[in-house]
Structure 1
Amino acid sequence: MAVALTMARMKLSILRHSTQGQQGGMMASAGSVGVLLAGGTIVLAFLDGDWLAAAYSVWLLGWIIGPVFSGGGDETLRPEFFSLLGLRPQRMAAGLLVAAFVGVAPAVSLLALAGLVVAGVREGVAGALVAVPAMVLQLAVFVLLSKVTVALMGLALGSRIGAIGAGVVNGVILAFLGQIWVFMVAFGQGGQVPEVVRYLPSGWGLLAVQGEYLALAAMAVLVVLLLAAWAALLTRRAGRSRPSTRGRRPMRAATPHGAVVAKELRSWTRDLVRNHQLAFAFTYGVAFAAVPLVLGIAEMLPLAGPLFIMMAAAMTANAYGTDGTAHWLTLMTPGASDVRGRQLAWLAAVGPVGLVLAVACTAIVGGPWPLVMAATFALIGGAVGLVPLVSVVGLIPGIDPKNRGGNPLRTSEDDGSATGMAYLMLLLVALTAAPAVAVAVFFGWWGVPAGLLSGALCWWGFGLLAERRLTAQGPELLHLMRTGRRPDSGAKASETFKLPDNMTRTQRLIVIICSSLGAIPLVPQGIVAMVFLSNGQLRQSWFLATHMPPGLRWPVAIGFVLLGLAMYGTALWLWLRAKRAAAG
């Protein structure tokens, strides 16, 4: 108990000193959004049916996959910090578990679990009394499942098969969340939530307050089992780093340019993190485009190829940063065109897969060929040009691959900024395809040569800018990778993609809400509704435009598209305005 309380006090002290400046603002904004979501969850407790159980299953899913996409989640206290103290694995796991309850995310989740109290009061005195221990045990289940998942993911990334399998699972889960409207429509058509959600681990607390007290004991047993599993995984994590003794074929290249290409292609095949990223991007593109088939909507399937290209670009946006200090090899190799070599390697690794995926999925649906091919060619060129440019302009120092430690999901000391860079890359790559898509919409097959031309120009032009910056500021970038600070101002590089300190709490909240929810009016209520209208499919569930009078259908759908774009634009405008004000 003394170890657990000490770790909790350490965590609390670290958080208390992190509530100032940029990080404090981010915590406050994230906490505000979390409180709103928790409030909405509590409201569901007043409704009949299994809506509260469904909401808690979403919270559990967030606890499981959230850390996977944020570099391993909250590691304020890392197991490696205590490895020399001689603590038994069970004791260390218990202490880290108690410390894990200290933070914004556990507090917000506990507030959401207050819905159990409401549900218990509705059941009577016994239900109200059971609600409090049910809340605590349910939160422990959330936290421990998150910890065990991250630990298992770290072990999976220790082998190629595991890395690819983890990428497939993560891609499917995130795609399902991105297309959550499909399942909302499916549930809405049935009129109720499937009863099975009550019997998931996320619904055991609700079962307990409704009189099934064995669920309370089941949660206690599950907590003990998860704690034991986490302790065993912590032991594996502490001793997992070991050098590989497998023989390597020699790398042969006649020119410095060829050496860069060979080195990058070898990294694509051998770096397990890159294997994971590529598998994730592929699975996300296919799953995101295929999920609407549940409702009989096949028109989104051709988007699989373009989505894969965009996601692959977002995942590799910090290419130079994740390579760490290996950049000194480029500085010491006169005449090496590092940018052009990386572009060719990226094109070889991603381009053919994206092109084949776009052709195959479009052939299944039967079109629209001009639009899909124009977007695919433009996106490939745009991504090939932007990946090195964004990486050298907004480089975020990463952890050297040899020093990634027991959590290979953490490739940067500031994964929040890396996530911001990925979102920015998604937007920029999509914009490079806009001209070709516009030509394809109005002039049909002329969009394909327009896509080839714009892709070639982006590849050449953005690559040239990246190459010039790399040549002019190579030593400064190496210093940035080594120290994490820019040599001119001493400012941290991770601040490039963070919300500036001079933004008010209201502005931060607006940026988070607009960037998080902008996809809802843009995709389902806008783009998907347009697909329904084009095919004459009216009265389609929650798609508002399909329920409007004939003269308002298209204006409403277009209005939703404009609303989604306006939300993204507002978030970008507030961020850029604050950045300019801070710089000036």
Structure 2
Amino acid sequence: MAGALIHMKLAVMRRDISGPRSSWVFGGALVGLLLAVATIDVATLNATHDSTVRDLLAVVFAVWTLGWMLGPAYSGQPVLRGEQFQLQPIPRRRLALGLLGSAFVGVTAPVTFVAFTALVAFGIRLGAVPVVVAVPAVFLQLLFVVLLSRLTAHLFGALSRSRIGGAVSALLNAAMLVASSSCWVVFIAVHSVLTTGFSHGFSITVRSLPSSWGVLAVEAASRSDWPMTVLPLLGLALLTALLWVAWTRSLGPARWTRATVRGSGADRAAPGGRLSSGATAAVYVKEMRTWARDPQRMQSFVVAPAFAVLTCLVPLAFHSTEFLPFLGALTALMGAVTAANLYGQDGTALWLTVLMPGSERADVRGRQLAWLTVFAPMTVVLTAVGIAVGGHPELRPWALASTVALLGGGAGLLPLVAVTQLAPGPDPREIRNAPLDHSDVTGQAFVMMIMALGTAVPAMATVLAGQLLHEPALRWAGLVAGAATAVVCYALLGRAAHRALARRGPELLYLMRTGKEQRGKAGEGATFIQAMPAYRRRLFWSSFLVGCIALFPQALVPLLMKVSGKVSRVWFLALYMPNAWQWPVIALMSVIGLGSFALAARIGLSELHAQRS
């Protein structure tokens, strides 16, 4: 049984390696190996206190365990699941053994095994006996995280079609985005911990976690404390056995789950009263109901404020409150980025609009109004809270002008990007609550982010002019410039969007029906990005990503801080350098950012020229 399931898993892996998700597979494997090597390196660090390395290794193992627990919410359910074999006359324990064997086939389990060999490296620095103890601890810990992941996958599967599941997935996505953008903080924290060590309470807490029991056993073996060597290993084995029993029993029909009902008889009255009499109002009502019921829309609704709040809270660890007034601006920006695939999320329901000539304008305007209704109040409240809590009166013109401009720019760009950069995916009835099971919106998100930031340039330039000329009135005129930009973007970009929808409606519907693998074959409806070979498309968006990170947060923001004289190091690499090296590092980051954008532009222009010819 195990052999057959392993062959099935290998067949699926061969398809992933050669299919559209190959970049995810290879990229994930590379990142995972780098993290595994970094974990082993943690076990070899030198610290002021002997217990610091033990506690730091326990924290890293807890992060790996958390990653296995939360993985099903982000990357989707396992390839082979128990419910797929419900109608097969296979004993549950035999099926469980087969599924467990297939769980070790792939990328994640071998990479995690490499990371857990840090226990052996930790034992080597303590003596020969701890190395012997570390070997079974590595295998027990790997088996523990695999079984734990299977149980959490069962739980997330029950939540996958619910709005609660969408909110949980959104919070995880926001935390991952903030963690990836704030990775410099980790290195700074590790350097501080190696010098001062962890607090006593934190050390006790992290050592009590099951993910730390292997570390405790190895350390106890170095002291010849045999009861404390055996007890953590026995506890880990017993907990693993309990997880095995619970997972085996969960392989039957999931009778305790139920389908999510996207509406009820009590909700028959359309919100808006008389407003629902026109075509635009009808679309508005439909969109508001979709925002309230659809798990994908729930993700967009939660990710934006969660990302903004977490991003602005990270600098508080360095006693910096300069980012708090921009809570609302970040929310508006991420609200536009996460909701940019409006038509792609609707799936082939686009045919309802295509078959009604002249309905495109009402469809676009209704979606714009609904997005503003959802995000504008939230953005205003967060801006007010950020200004009140963070202080910094000199930043208020910047925060208010950028917030207003990004709200209008997001509302204008939202339908335009959704039409011109549509990312096809499964119909709503077929999706699961995991980002990798949805449309591939990476390129679309970068386009939306760059264009939305561009809509805030006039307002920011006005405020900057007032700052340089020491004219308070001109600084506050940035708010007027932001409002004017917002109105123009809403009107003109919305008009461009409904015209593009009327012109390209059939091609967009074809893209939605054929899926991601057929995007480059959509005839005249395909853009030059969609017609690129896969490897050039990956290079194109990778260049954009590197350019955004290097030019904006690592070059322009430190430059403005140096010019203004108000320096907060936070996560900016240049500001952690000696004074003599800060300007050269800023210049280097600017060159890297501009060079990356130039490479992306060259790829795009060459592909556009090739497509036209």
CA distance, structure 2, for counterparts of residue 171 and residue 89 of structure 1 = 37
> Which residue is 2:4 aligned to?
6
SS of 1:448's equivalent in the other structure is helix
Q: CA deviation at 1:174?
A: 4.7
Give, in angstroms, the shift of residue 391 of structure 1.
Answer: 2.0
Q: Could you say if the C-alpha distance between residues 265 and 442 of structure 1 is closer, same or farther in structure 2, counting changes exceeding 3 Å? A: same
Q: Does the residue aligned with 1:333 lie in a helix, a strand or coil?
A: coil
CA distance in 1, matches of 2:456, 2:86: 50
Q: Quick one: which of 190, 193, 206 aligns to 2:215? A: 206
Match of 1:103 in 2: 106
Counterpart for residue 81 of structure 1: 84
Residue of structure 1 equivalent to 2:366: 341
Q: Which residue of 2 aligns with 1:116?
A: 119
Equivalent pair of 1:42/1:114 in contact (CA under 8 Å):
yes
Q: Residue 493 of structure 2: which of 455, 458, 462 is its match?
A: 462
Q: Look up the equivalent residue of 1:489 and give its one-letter code.
A: K
Amino acid in structure 1 at the alignment position of 2:457: A
2:430 alignment counterpart? 403
Residue 376 of structure 2 corresponds to residue 351 of structure 1: yes
Q: Distance in 2 between matches of 1:409 and 1:540?
A: 32
The residue identity in structure 2 corresponding to 1:131 is A
1:234-383 pair list within 5 angstroms:
235-236=253-254, 240-241=258-259, 246-247=264-265, 248-251=267-270, 253-336=276-359, 337-366=362-391, 367=393, 368-383=395-410
> 2: CA distance between counterparts of 1:402 and 1:23?
21
Deviation at 1:375, TM superposition (A): 1.2
Q: SS at the partner of 1:446? A: helix
For residue 481 of structure 1, the aligned residue among 512, 536, 555 is 512
Whole-angstrom CA distance in 2 between matches of 1:495 and 1:209 = 57
Give the corresponding residue for 1:175.
178
1:195-217 per-residue CA deviation (whole Å, 9 max, x = no partner) reads: 35454343333333333343333
Counterpart of 2:367 in structure 1: which amino acid? R
**Structure 1 residues 153 and 511, CA, compared in 2 at 3 Å: closer, same or farther?**
same
Distance 2:177 2:532 in 1: 24
Task: Describe the shift of the 1:40–1:413 C-alpha distance in structure 2 as closer, same or farther (beyond 3 A).
Answer: closer
Which structure is larger by alpha-carbon Rg, 1 or 2?
2
Aligned partners of 1:514, 1:54: CA distance in 2, in Å? 33
Match of 2:239 in 1: 222
Q: Quick check: 292-301 or 223-232, which moved more?
A: 223-232
Q: Name the amino acid aligned to 1:527.
A: V
Structure 1 stretch displaced more, 339-348 or 461-470:
461-470
Q: What is the alpha-carbon distance in structure 2 between the residues aligned to residue 316 and residue 237 of structure 1?
A: 34
Question: Post-superposition shift, 1:329?
Answer: 2.0
Letter in 1 for 2:397: P
> Which amino acid is 2:407 matched to?
I
Q: Judging changes above 3 Å, is the alpha-carbon distance between structure 1 residues 358 and 31 closer, same or farther for their aligned structure 2 residues? A: same
Cα distance in 1 for residues equivalent to 2:66 and 2:413: 32
Q: Which of 543, 548, 563 is residue 578 of structure 2 equivalent to?
A: 548
User: CA deviation digits over 1:541-570, x for unaligned, max 9?
Assistant: 996536634x765x2574376267348637
Change (3 A) 1:106 1:158: same
Structure 1 segment 498-509 matched on structure 2, within 5 A: 500-503=533-536
CA 122–181 in structure 1, closer or farther in 2 if over 3 Å, else same? same
Q: 1:152 to 1:488 in 2, by over 3 A?
A: closer
CA contact (8 A) 2:340 2:418 kept: yes
Amino acid of the structure 1 residue aligned with 2:384: V
Gaps of 5+ in 2: 47-52, 222-228, 467-474
Rate the CA distance shift 1:303–1:138 in 2: closer, same or farther, 3 A: farther
State the distance in 2 between where 1:414 and 1:167 align: 13
Distance 2:167 2:254 in 1: 20
Distance in structure 2 (CA, Å) of the matches to 1:205 and 1:513: 42
SS of corresponding position for 2:322: coil
1:278 offset after TM fit, Å? Answer: 1.1
* Contact preservation (8 Å) 1:152, 1:233: no
State the distance in 2 between where 1:383 and 1:320 align: 16
- For 2:107 and 2:605, how far apart are their aligned partners in 1? 28
Give me the whole-angstrom Cα distance separating, in 2, the residues matched to 1:289 and 1:503. Answer: 35
TM-score of the pair, normalised by structure 1: 0.83
For each residue in 1:142-165, what CA deviation from the matched residue of structure 2 results, as whole angstroms up to 9, or x when unmatched?
Answer: 334444444434434555556546
Q: Offset of 1:32 from its aligned partner? A: 3.0
Q: 1:545–1:556: 8 Å Cα contact kept in structure 2? A: no
Compared CA separation, residues 96 and 539, structure 1 to 2 (3 A): closer
Offset, 1:376: 0.9
Offset at residue 263 of structure 1 (A): 0.2
Residues 223, 362 of structure 1: alpha-carbon distance in 2 compared, 3 angstrom cutoff: same
Deviates more, 1:94-103 or 1:148-157: 148-157
2:451 to 415, 428, 433: 428
How many residue pairs align between the two structures? Answer: 571
- More deviation, 441-450/370-379: 441-450
The C-alpha deviation readout for 1:450-470, integer Å capped at 9, x for no partner, is 222222333233322321221
State how far apart, in whole Å, the 2-side matches of 1:268 and 1:38 are: 40
Deviations 1:104-153 (A, max 9, x none): 23222222223222222233333323333322332333334444444434
Q: Does structure 2 retain, via aligned residues, the 8 Å contact 1:385–1:459? A: yes
Indicate the SS of the match to 2:422: coil
| Corresponding residue for residue 478 of structure 2 | 447
C-alpha distance 153-380 of structure 1, shift in aligned 2 (>3 A): farther
CA contact (8 A) 2:558 2:575 kept: no
For the pair 1:35 / 2:33, whether they are aligned, the reply is yes
Partner of 1:384: 411
Cα distance change, pair 438–487 in 1 and its aligned pair in 2 (3 A): closer
Deviation at 1:303, TM superposition (A): 2.3
SS in 1 for 2:125: helix
Q: Aligned partner of 1:135: which letter?
A: V
Equivalent residues of 2:325, 2:386 under 8 A apart: yes
**Distance change >3 Å, CA 25–CA 106, structure 1 → 2:** same
Q: How far off is 1:257 after superposition?
A: 1.6
1:68 matched to 2:100? The reply is no
- How many Å separate the matches in 2 of 1:143 and 1:568? 39
More divergent stretch after superposition (4-13 vs 485-494): 485-494
Provide Cα deviations, 1:392-412, integer angstroms capped at 9, x if missing partner.
2232223333333xx4336x7
| Counterpart position of 1:57 | 62
Match among 138, 148, 155 for residue 135 of structure 1: 138
Structure 1: any 5+ residue segments left out of the alignment?
none
Give the percent of matched residue pairs that are identical in Structure 1 and Structure 2. 34
The offset of 1:261, in angstroms, is 0.7
Aligned-pair distance for 1:324?
1.6
1:372 and 1:360 map into 2 onto residues whose CA distance is 12
Letter in 2 for 1:426: M
TM-score (norm 2): 0.79
Over 3 Å counting, the alpha-carbon distance change for 1:97 and 1:303 in structure 2 is farther
Equivalent pair of 2:185/2:571 in contact (CA under 8 Å): no
Matched residue, 2:18? 20
